[in-house]
Homo-oligomer: A and B are copies of this chain.
């Protein structure tokens, strides 16, 4: 597949975006959802009302409701809340960094210590042998305890070999 932008995508024109009665009558770009002022208004109101992470069902309802004001998909609503919440938190985080000063070390300390807590496991050599009877939840879980390596310049790779015979 090479091209894919020529199926049914053709936008006419997008109405004004946020900014209150914009009206610009301009932006004619598709490729990503461009919420209308009304949609943003409703979404914002929902957020203000305390809704932060709508359930799938709620997302569906919101989407349906908003589709009345313009094209929209469930995922747009999903992403909107996800982003809105994340950015609000992000901003907060920014502000809370006024502790500056000469650093109370507390933060750094915690961060430094957490790495070597209980990673002494060194599950480097995973059990490659087939477990006897119950080979139940032996997988997954253990892998998570791997410590992080250091950044290694690994941009030198060999030619792509797509054979998956190693399995």
Which residues of A pack against B, CB within 8 Å?
Answer: 4-15, 24-26, 28, 30-32, 36, 38, 41-42, 45-46, 49, 51, 54-65, 67-71, 73-75, 78, 91, 93-95, 97-98, 101-102, 105-106, 109, 111-112, 123-129, 131-133, 135, 138-140, 142-167
Known: A128-B60, A165-B124. A9 touches B149 (CB 8 A): yes
Is there an interface contact between B140 and A56, defined as CB atoms closer than 8 Å?
yes
CB–CB B31/A167 < 8 A = no
Q: Is the CB of B30 within 8 A of A101?
A: no
Please name all residues of chain B whose beta carbon is closer than 8 Å to the beta carbon of A91 when the two chains form the complex.
Answer: 75
Apart from A15-B153, A125-B165, 19 more pairs, CB < 8 Å: A7-B109, A7-B147, A11-B151, A11-B153, A14-B151, A24-B156, A30-B151, A55-B139, A56-B126, A58-B167, A64-B98, A71-B149, A74-B98, A75-B91, A75-B144, A124-B165, A126-B162, A131-B160, A132-B159
- Is the Cβ of B105 less than 8 Å from the Cβ of A49? no
A162 to B163, CA, bound (A): 55
Partner among B101, B149, B150, B162 whose Cβ is within 8 Å of the Cβ of A128: B162
Nearest chain B CB to A122 CB, angstrom units: 10
**Do residues A36 and B157 form an inter-chain contact, with CB atoms below 8 A?**
yes
> Of B109, B143, B166, which one neighbours A65 at CB under 8 angstroms?
B166
